[in-house]
């Protein structure tokens, strides 16, 4: 979605705007994206805290919560399952696709990305607001869609059957020549995986066009008609690759939620290096 499309519908009560900005990785001190949301956001937007909405019992970062927990959280935020939901982030393309995937995975069907996010909104000359937004409680009966999320056991089966696996991490981490940011984890990649760094799918804060993405995946010898599973370090940027696949025309796609943070801890997991 572009800013004009959103601006034309601001008065629509069925439209819900959502800021889903995670702090950028590697920036010290950590950027308080909720504080930035309070300072400036799209009119009526609520804040979707991916960290807070994750399963904190898993021992892994950003793990999907239970359907019951997610549904209750959405209802408290005032996000209805049948609403038109537009997700954006404050700068760049990093975490908003993860929020988009979570909402769709739990049954919301009319969910979109504001391409370019807050920066594009302001560049188009549209106004912003500040302060917390409290919406009335909504109805969100969450249920995880079959196939939306891949588990480690399912991933092992996909590796064995040579299904397409797309890894969003940087090339050095994929190759095994650069360290993982999480202590104790080996870098490298899953057998048969293809490296598709998420930074190659975006440009100047926007996700690329369907035509550009189709050409990119063709160059990587990805068959868009065949099943594909996306992965990354913690399950966040894997959602960028998944969205890019969808925009390019793929429809049998899944996200490995545990991603490398889980995979590299498993003693039975095979890790390959391109060295």
pLDDT in tens, 87-107: 999 999 999 999 999 999 999
Asked if residue 111 and residue 36 are part of one domain, the reply reads yes
What is the domain count for the chain?
2
Let me know if residue 140 belongs to a domain. Answer: no
Task: Indicate if 106 and 154 belong to the same structural domain.
Answer: no
C-alpha to C-alpha distance for 91 and 186, rounded to whole angstroms: 30
Which pLDDT band, with edges at 50, 70 and 90, does 208 fall under?
very high
Assess whether 163 and 250 both reside in one domain.
Answer: yes
pLDDT at position 58: 87
* 106, 123, 140 - which closes a domain: 123
Do 107 and 169 belong to one domain?
no
* pLDDT greater than 90 at residue 1: no
Q: Is 232 a catalytic residue?
A: yes
Q: List, for residues 31-56, the tens digit of each pLDDT value.
A: 899 999 999 999 999 999 999 999 98
Same domain, 158 and 116: no
The alpha helices in the chain, defined as continuous H runs, are 3-7, 33-39, 67-77, 96-105, 117-123, 152-160, 171-175, 210-219, 238-248, 259-263
Residue 143 lies in a domain: no
Judged on CB neighbours under 10 Å (0-12, 13-18, 19+), 231 is: buried
- The mean pLDDT of 112-117, rounded to a whole number, is 96
Residues 70 and 171 placed together within one structural domain of the fold: no
Please provide the distance, in angstroms rounded to a whole number, between the alpha carbons at the two ends of the chain.
41
- What is the token pair recorded at 212? 């550009």
Instruction: Tell me the average pLDDT across 4-28.
Output: 91
Note whether residue 199 is domain-resident.
Answer: yes
The predicted pLDDT at position 25 comes to 77
**194: in domain:** yes
> Domain range for residue 91?
3-123
User: How high is the mean pLDDT of the chain?
Assistant: 95
User: Does residue 103 contact residue 147 with C-beta atoms inside 8 Å?
Assistant: no
Q: What's the pTM?
A: 0.95
CA–CA dist 241, 9 (Å, integer):
28
pLDDT over 90 at 28, yes or no:
no
Residues 68 and 18 in one domain: yes
- Specify the CATH number for the domain of residue 7: 3.40.250.10
Instruction: Determine contact, residues 87/113, Cβ cutoff 8 Å.
Output: yes
Residue 132 covered by a domain = no
> Of 54, 89, 123, which residue is a domain's last?
123
Query: Which residue in the list 96, 232, 239, 247 is annotated as catalytic?
Result: 232
pLDDT tens digits, one per residue of 127-145: 999 999 999 999 999 999 9
């Amino acid at each position: 979605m572009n800013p004009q499309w959103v601006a034309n519908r601001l008065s629509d009560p069925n439209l819900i705007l959502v800021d889903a900005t995670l702090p950028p990785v590697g920036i010290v001190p950590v950027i308080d994206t909720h504080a930035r949301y309070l300072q400036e956001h799209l009119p009526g937007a609520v804040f979707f805290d991916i960290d807070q909405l994750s399963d904190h019992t898993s021992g892994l970062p950003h793990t999907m919560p239970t359907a019951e927990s997610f549904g209750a959280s959405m209802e408290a935020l005032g996000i209805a399952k049948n609403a038109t939901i537009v997700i954006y982030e404050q700068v760049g393309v990093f975490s908003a696709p993860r929020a988009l995937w979570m909402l769709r995975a739990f049954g919301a069907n009319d969910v979109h990305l504001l391409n370019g996010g807050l920066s594009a909104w302001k560049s188009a000359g549209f106004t912003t607001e500040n302060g917390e937004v409290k919406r009335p409680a909504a109805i969100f009966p969450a249920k995880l869609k079959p196939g939306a999320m891949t588990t480690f056991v399912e991933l092992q089966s996909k590796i064995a059957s040579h299904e397409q696996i797309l890894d969003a991490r940087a090339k050095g981490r994929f190759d095994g020549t650069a360290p993982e940011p999480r202590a104790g984890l080996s870098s490298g990649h899953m057998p048969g995986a293809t490296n598709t760094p998420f930074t190659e799918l975006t440009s100047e804060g926007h996700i690329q066009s369907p035509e550009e993405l189709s050409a990119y995946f063709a160059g990587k010898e990805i068959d868009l008609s065949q099943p594909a599973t996306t992965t990354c370090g913690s399950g966040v940027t894997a959602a960028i690759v998944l969205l890019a696949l969808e925009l390019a025309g793929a429809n049998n796609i899944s996200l490995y939620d545990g991603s490398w943070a889980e995979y590299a801890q498993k003693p039975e997991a095979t890790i390959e290096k391109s060295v």
